Amino acid sequence: MVEPAAQKKPKIHDKGIEQGAAKLTPERIETVIRQFLKNETGARLKAYLETCVHCGLCSEACHFYLSNDNDPSFAPAAKVKQTLGEIVKRKGRVSPAFIEKACEIAHTECNLCRRCAMYCPFGIDVAYLMLAMRRICHLLGTTPQYLQDTAHSHSATLNQMWVKEDEWIDSLQWQEEEAQEEIPALRIPLEKEGADIFYSVIGPEPKFRAQLIYQAAVIMNTAGVDWTMPATPGWDNSDMCMYSGDNEMMARLKRAHFEAAMRLKVKRIVMGECGHAFRSVYDMGNRALGWRMPPIPVVHAIEFYYELLKSGRIRIAKKYPTPVTIHDPCNVVRGRGLHEMLRYVADALCETVVEMHPNREHNYCCSAGGGVINTGPPFKNKRVAGNRVKAEQLFRVKTKGVKTVIAPCHNCHGGLEDIIHVNQLGLELKFLGDLIYETMEKPE
């Protein structure tokens, strides 16, 4: 049918995709795709592709579609049609140019946020289909360059940011010393066998958000939690390989993470405020390893803070005075139903919480998730423009006096930061950890 909108999109150059595609031949593409379809897909792919009746009910679920003036090519079902749908129809006989386009769609026009699964009457999981497309890109060697670099870091170091083992330990000790200035008896217990809690973070925390480790240490020490962090690889719970289609590495990363926790014989894993890492541990990585549920209970920071506040182990000295709003991260809201706990925590910490709409399970994604922000600078403008609806949501709460946005997810922070900056919204972003640290009663 007509594709007027698709032709308007400006060409974005990405070395990873283009140089990868330059090495491809139609024969190679066909072989790889056929093997993939035969070995790695089954009933779900078949049922999803064969039953979609092209009704368009998913279109308005997608922030890319809404933000691009209802451009039909951004509708979830249209993204499937332009990628896997065509590939399966042509039995893998597609050109390198087609693969380039399909890679761009799967990697930069879908955050795998699963909102459309709640708008499709059949419950077709477009995120699953886009991940299948990304897997094909991975197998063909056409993953976007920046995302692939992150995946390389995971492969080489088992963390996302090329952090060396001694740098990791060093960062923890540095934050411990800093925090001891405030609370002299504070410790960041490394390698403590039998601790109640194994606290894991994502690579960017030691790399450039080290204050989050400081704050977590203050919270843990104040609440009197028996906790530990590992001194070995496995400390990083993030997993960009999950998004780059490198399923083997995804599983290796999760195994290192679970094994570090099991080696220390902890009761459960508490993870920092990150959404995709939670998805990798609770949903995708554990499954890749054959675990129906994670082998050790995994608790996201939202739930952990909820426990601490509800049980009174953390008390609030003075609530945060200026009005805040809550951004629901997809992977812990649609992915784990933590939205009410998030509101409990936000209410406990802040004087005034103003809701954005739609919210909870129906939230709009930050447009950074699903590895999209990790495709880097080439796709930044497209990503920010693709989430005008979020900017409008933020603007509406700003007019109601909101100064601060709570986003308990690293990716959301990255995405919202760009949206706020580009649209000159002048809002401040906070993690729950920032707010707890600011408002809590600390030991004298």
C-alpha span between 402 and 427 (Å, rounded) = 8
Footprint of another protein on 147-176 (CB under 8 A): none
Segment contacting another protein by CB under 8 A, of 112-120, 141-149, 172-180, 231-239: 112-120
Beta bridge partners of 300: 271
C-alpha span between 394 and 311 (Å, rounded) = 32
Report the nearest approach of another protein to the CB of residue 215 (Å). Answer: 27
Determine, following the binding rule CB under 8 A, whether residue 42 of this chain makes contact with another protein.
yes
Among 28, 35, 55, 421, binds another protein (CB under 8 A): 55
Report the nearest approach of another protein to the CB of residue 54 (Å). Answer: 4
Q: Smaller CB distance to another protein: residue 57 or 210?
A: 57
Q: How many CB atoms lie within 10 A of CB 336?
A: 20
Determine, following the binding rule CB under 8 A, whether residue 31 of this chain makes contact with another protein.
no
Report the nearest approach of another protein to the CB of residue 98 (Å). Answer: 17
Beta bridge partners of 228: 198
Among 21, 66, 78, 105, binds another protein (CB under 8 A): 78
Burial (CB < 10 A; 0-12, 13-18, 19+), residue 346, is buried
Q: Which residues does 11 contact at the CB level (< 8 Å), separation at least 6?
A: none
Binding track, positions 279-308, relative to another protein; x by CB under 8 A: ----x---x----xx---------------
Q: Smaller CB distance to another protein: residue 77 or 99?
A: 77
Report the nearest approach of another protein to the CB of residue 286 (Å). Answer: 11
Give all strands of the β-sheet with 324-326 in edge-to-edge order. Answer: 353-354, 324-326, 404-406, 428-430
Q: Smaller CB distance to another protein: residue 51 or 173?
A: 51
Structure tokens at 119: 């708008």
Among 14, 33, 48, 388, binds another protein (CB under 8 A): 48
Compute the C-alpha angle 164/415/81, nearest 5°: 105
Stated as kind and residue range, the H or E segment containing 401 is none
CB 157, CB 96: distance < 8 Å:
no
Among 75, 264, 269, 309, binds another protein (CB under 8 A): 75
C-alpha span between 435 and 74 (Å, rounded) = 37
* 16 phi, psi to nearest 5 deg: -60, -45
Q: How many CB atoms lie within 10 A of CB 16?
A: 23
Structure tokens at 37: 């379809």
Compute the C-alpha angle 311/314/315, nearest 5°: 100
Among 59, 150, 280, 393, binds another protein (CB under 8 A): 59
Structure tokens at 235: 């400390």
C-alpha span between 192 and 231 (Å, rounded) = 10
Segment contacting another protein by CB under 8 A, of 45-53, 157-165, 316-324, 400-408: 45-53
Report the nearest approach of another protein to the CB of residue 83 (Å). Answer: 13
Packing angle, helices 211-223 and 165-182, rounded to 10: 60
Segment contacting another protein by CB under 8 A, of 43-51, 219-227, 378-386, 411-419: 43-51
Segment contacting another protein by CB under 8 A, of 28-36, 54-62, 179-187, 425-433: 54-62
Footprint of another protein on 330-389 (CB under 8 A): 333-337, 339, 361-362
Which residues of this protein are in contact with another protein, per CB under 8 A? 1-3, 5, 40-44, 46-48, 50-57, 59-61, 65, 70, 72-73, 75, 77-78, 81, 117-119, 121-125, 283, 287, 292-293, 333-337, 339, 361-362
